[in-house]
Amino acid sequence: MRDFRHDLSGLALNTATLGHNMEGAGRGWSPERTIEACARRGIGGIVFWRREIEGRAAAIGAHARAAGVRVVGLCRAPFLVGPLAFRSEGEVRDDFYRAIDQTAELGGDILTIVVGGVQPGTKGVGESLGLVGQYVADAANRAASVGVRLALEPLHPVYGGDRSCLVTTRDALDLCERIGADNLGIAIDVYHVWWDTDLPRQLARAGGRILGFHLCDWLAHTADVLLDRGMMGDGVADLVAIRAAVEQAGYQGYCEVEIFSANNWWKRDPAEVLDVMIERFRTVC
Amino acid sequence: MRDFRHDLSGLALNTATLGHNMEGAGRGWSPERTIEACARRGIGGIVFWRREIEGRAAAIGAHARAAGVRVVGLCRAPFLVGPLAFRSEGEVRDDFYRAIDQTAELGGDILTIVVGGVQPGTKGVGESLGLVGQYVADAANRAASVGVRLALEPLHPVYGGDRSCLVTTRDALDLCERIGADNLGIAIDVYHVWWDTDLPRQLARAGGRILGFHLCDWLAHTADVLLDRGMMGDGVADLVAIRAAVEQAGYQGYCEVEIFSANNWWKRDPAEVLDVMIERFRTVC
């Protein structure tokens, strides 16, 4: 298991952690300011959201490279199915392609996919997962042509209805195997998988398919499943055990901190959040 | 698969469905009135909560029997572990025994167990599940001596932190096998397991261990994971497929409707709720 106590090169910031997405609140740093704050602290990588880089992807990517911060990837492809997806298949596909192209413009390696919930008019996750498979198989070709890898992220089962019919590492790997594209893998986020006693077995099966590893924590008393994630160490997830299993499977990529926290971390000074994040990464992950 | 279109003898009401637990709101029927309303409609069984029968278990049980309504069981044993459990092991055990005795006094067959969340000071679910196993192994003996069966209910993973470190059917069956008591089994609630593509495989493995089957629905946009359950047919769970798998495993017991719904069903006339419940049971389950 890698030792990060004195080395932050394996740490990446997902900009959501600084509350970028409190739209209209007038808070949050610009991409450039965030890049510089990461560079100054020795944070190795950064992951942006599409809304932040819209129309400026190439310039922001160049800024990061010049600062010595690796653009790890982009969040995220559109919902492919479910009640929150675009209405038409054409719109879904076009926006999926657009996200792939933006990832490439940014100079990022990985586009994360949150698949969307249960397709209206159907029951259970089966049919929806089938549709997801079709979209992803198609997009994997497009992504390969521009050097982008796709990471299917299973979300916590609480999002099963509206945001992700893909809720287990097992199902994500099944989908990868069914599609069989070389540039397709999974992202493991401790928030979504911490409860799953089948996780070690699945990770062992995943091997090189693990393209991303996300850190935060699950608070014992979660007030809001969307916007009340905990800082590493403040919750009940066994972060050390999960990282050990992920690395045992061969993963040597970034540990990406992604914390949505409307009433705690997003209310703090971003500089403080970064400093706490670093301290926790060194000591409890 | 059983045909319930013209037969309600397999339907049971969990009294939570009528909003009994809006404590202090001055609403909800008495146990006797609820029993009579069930009897009048041909509903075969009823499941009470401890707070409703406190000090009157034997009389309420007799009332139900006289009315021709079977007391299926009692909700529930105390949290055994986690932040919401009693402080001392002695208190947990005493209250567990008390719940077992109340089930027997009521003339009920099954006591449902919701195990509690992650034990403070530990990470992940492993250690907590180990503690649960010790409590349950001990209580199973006590329960056997008074003719009560214990049903471990895996809850949805969203409750993993505070209410139930037991979040999958797989883990519940593992626990049953490890303990090996004849009067120990599991309760399957569609709300908690609808997302799990491993469910059919686990149910096939469960065989005679399925002691309860609970119905409601998972709303695609769930506003509150505790108190916003849907009526059967209003959500995304594949109720027919789950019941088919449960019965395929050999289950021939009651289908127990349990809906916590602070802002919808609990605001309605209990008679209306019963009538809608029956209609949905006949048509979409």
pLDDT tens readout for residues A260-269: 999 999 999 9
Question: Is there a contact between B126 and A83 if contact means CB atoms under 8 Å apart?
Answer: no
Peptide bond into A76 cis (omega under 30): yes
Between the alpha carbon of residue B255 and those of residues B10, B187, B215, B240, B258, the distances in Å are: 6, 11, 7, 12, 10
pLDDT tens across B24-59, in order? 555 678 999 999 999 999 999 999 999 999 999 999
- Per the listing, tokens 């214990």 go with B150
Distances (CA, A) of A167 to A172, A238, B221: 8, 19, 16
CB-CB: which of B124, B156, B158 is closest to A241? B124
For residue range B87-111, list pLDDT tens digits in order: 999 999 999 999 999 999 999 999 9
> CB A95: neighbour CB atoms within 10 A?
17
A168 and chain B: CB distance < 8 Å anywhere? yes
Q: B160 in contact with A at a CB cutoff of 8 Å?
A: yes
Supply the pLDDT for residue B21. Answer: 54
Distance spanning both ends of chain A, measured CA to CA: 11
Q: Would you state the pLDDT for residue A207?
A: 87
**Residue A266, both tokens:** 């997003």
Instruction: Please give the backbone phi and psi of residue A20, each rounded to the nearest 5 degrees, phi first.
Output: -50, -30
| Alpha helix ranges (H) inside chain B | 31-41, 50-53, 57-67, 89-106, 126-145, 169-179, 190-193, 199-206, 239-248, 270-284
Distance CA A72, CA A45 (A): 6
In angstroms, the CA B66 to CA B75 distance is 22
The minimum CA-CA distance between A122 and chain B, rounded to whole Å, is: 7
Q: Taking the alpha carbons of A207, A213, A217, A220 in that order, is the dihedral positive or negative?
A: negative
> How close A236 comes to chain B (CA, Å)?
5
Q: CA B160, B166, B170, B173: dihedral to nearest 10 degrees?
A: -170
Q: Please report the pLDDT score of residue B23 as a whole number.
A: 46
The token duo for B276 is 């809608």
Q: B163-186 pLDDT, tens per residue?
A: 999 999 999 999 999 999 999 999
Answer whether residue A23 shows pLDDT above 50.
no
Q: Considering only CA atoms, which of B20, B11, B113, B114 is closest in space to residue B72?
A: B11
Q: What angle do CA A40, A41, A46 make, to 5 degrees?
A: 90
- Shortest Cα distance, chain A CAs vs residue B116, angstroms: 11
Cβ atoms B225, A159 nearer than 8 A: no
| Residue B9 confidence (pLDDT) above 90 | yes
Interval A105-133 mean pLDDT: 98
Are A124 and B160 a contacting pair at CB < 8 A?
no
Q: Which amino acid is at A180?
A: G
Cβ–Cβ < 8 Å for B276, B11: no
Using 50, 70 and 90 to split pLDDT, how confident is the model at A270? Answer: very high
The mean per-residue pLDDT over the stretch A128-135 comes to 98
Name which of A156, A164, A166, A197 to mutate to probe chain B: the one with the most chain B Cβ atoms within 10 A of its Cβ: A197
DSSP summary character for residue A209: G
What value does the mean pLDDT of chain A take? 96
For A83, which of B157, B161, B220 is closest by C-beta distance?
A: B220
The phi and psi torsions of B140 (rounded to 5 degrees) equal -60, -35
Q: Are B218 and A157 a contacting pair at CB < 8 A?
A: no
Q: Does B84 touch chain A if contact means CB atoms closer than 8 Å?
A: no
Rounded to whole angstroms, how far apart are CA atoms B271 and B277? 10
Two structure tokens written together for B275? 């009538």
- The tokens for B145 are 């001596």
DSSP letter at A14? E
Quote the ipTM score: 0.96
Residue A205, H or E segment: helix A199-206
Distance CA B82, CA B103 (A): 24
CA distance A39 to A50: 21
Q: Give A129's contacts in chain B (Cβ within 8 Å).
A: 197
What would the two tokens of residue A199 be?
Answer: 């996780």
What does residue B81 show for φ and ψ, rounded to 5 degrees? Answer: -140, 175
3 state SS of B252: coil
CA distance B131 to B124: 13
B105 with B144: CB under 8 angstroms? no
Average pLDDT, chain B: 96
Chain B residues with CB under 8 Å of A239 CB are 123
Q: How many CB atoms lie within 10 A of CB A234?
A: 17
Instruction: Give the whole-angstrom CA distance, residue A154 versus residue A162.
Output: 13
For residue B282, the model assigns a pLDDT of 97
Contacts of A240 (CB under 8 A, 6+ apart): A284, A285, B123
> Model confidence over A40-64: pLDDT tens digits?
999 999 999 999 999 999 999 999 9
Of B156, B193, B236, which to mutate for an interface test with A (greatest number of A Cβ within 10 Å)? B236
Residues 6+ apart with CB under 8 A from A255: A4, A10, A11, A12, A213, A214, A215, A243, A281, A285
Instruction: Report helix, strand or coil for A212.
Output: strand
User: For position A100, what pLDDT does the model report?
Assistant: 98
Tell whether A235 is within 8 A of chain B (Cβ). Answer: yes
In chain A, residues with a C-beta closer than 8 Å to the C-beta of B198 are 168, 170, 198
Query: Which domains occur in chain A, in start order?
Result: 11-284 (3.20.20.150)
Spatial CB neighbours of A227, under 8 Å, sequence gap ≥ 6: A260, A261, A262, A263
A208 token code pair: 């090189």
Which of A123, A167, A239 comes nearest B238 by C-beta? Answer: A123
